Structure 1
């Protein structure tokens, strides 16, 4: 006596959107909630984990969390599910991993302390460019 086989219907996921579309969507999300000092850093060739970092500041922990939530909401509209979200509880620094783009939303004091922009742009300056006060920290 055999039972009939159960058929499980599967569907291949939609292909991810082009990176330009994902970046544009991330920028729209952070701008929608008035994030401060938004910076995009191309880390292709420097990181095997992601292609772009988007770093933004919020004015309070509530603002930081709201901006990160908006990034997630806008990404889901593209059928992009975050690979991970870290730091939501404290909301001083929330990381949203969208694969090709990783978004960091931080309080200004946390952003200044960790200085991700400097960390990921070291060596990008041409040797013939003068060093400014901003570069020295």
Structure 2
């Protein structure tokens, strides 16, 4: 699946379940294992699990592949491995403590969130696609 399409599906899924502070980072110069890291915050164990499951279901439904989901047992930090993109969903205290942005955040990717005015989600028609 195209990287931009996969990225859009994941961001839309996170927004659908009200993830907070979604950040996307280009990791192509840092590792050969994946091209993007997406970091988001969930406010509770239940929400982090729901965010991860929504990402998994949406990626699979749209023809992508989810390699694994880790951390559902506790729901404090859930990782969704989508191959070219790795998604970290953390509760606020863990996100603040581990500062993943410091590790992966050398090259942020500018993305439009659906909550921004005028942006259609991947599942909706979009006349000015990136």
Shorter-chain TM-score: what band? 0.7 to 0.9
The Cα offsets for residues 52-82 of structure 1, whole Å up to 9 and x where unpaired, read as: 0010000100000000000001101122221
Aligned to 1:105: 89
Following superposition of structure 1 onto structure 2, how do residues 6-85 of structure 1 map, counting pairs within 5 Å?
Answer: 17-85=1-69
Shift of 1:122: 4.8
The Cα offsets for residues 26-63 of structure 1, whole Å up to 9 and x where unpaired, read as: 00000001100000001011011110001000010000
Distance 2:56 2:3 in 1: 16
Aligned length: 108
Aligned to 1:87: 71
TM-score when normalising by structure 2: 0.79
TM-score when normalising by structure 1: 0.75
Instruction: Give the alignment's Cα RMSD to 1 decimal.
Output: 1.4
Whether contact under 8 Å (2:25, 2:107) holds in the other structure is no
Distance 2:7 2:92 in 1: 22
Q: Which runs of 4+ in 1 moved over 6 A?
A: none
- Runs (5+) with no aligned partner, structure 2: 109-130
Shift of 1:120: 1.6
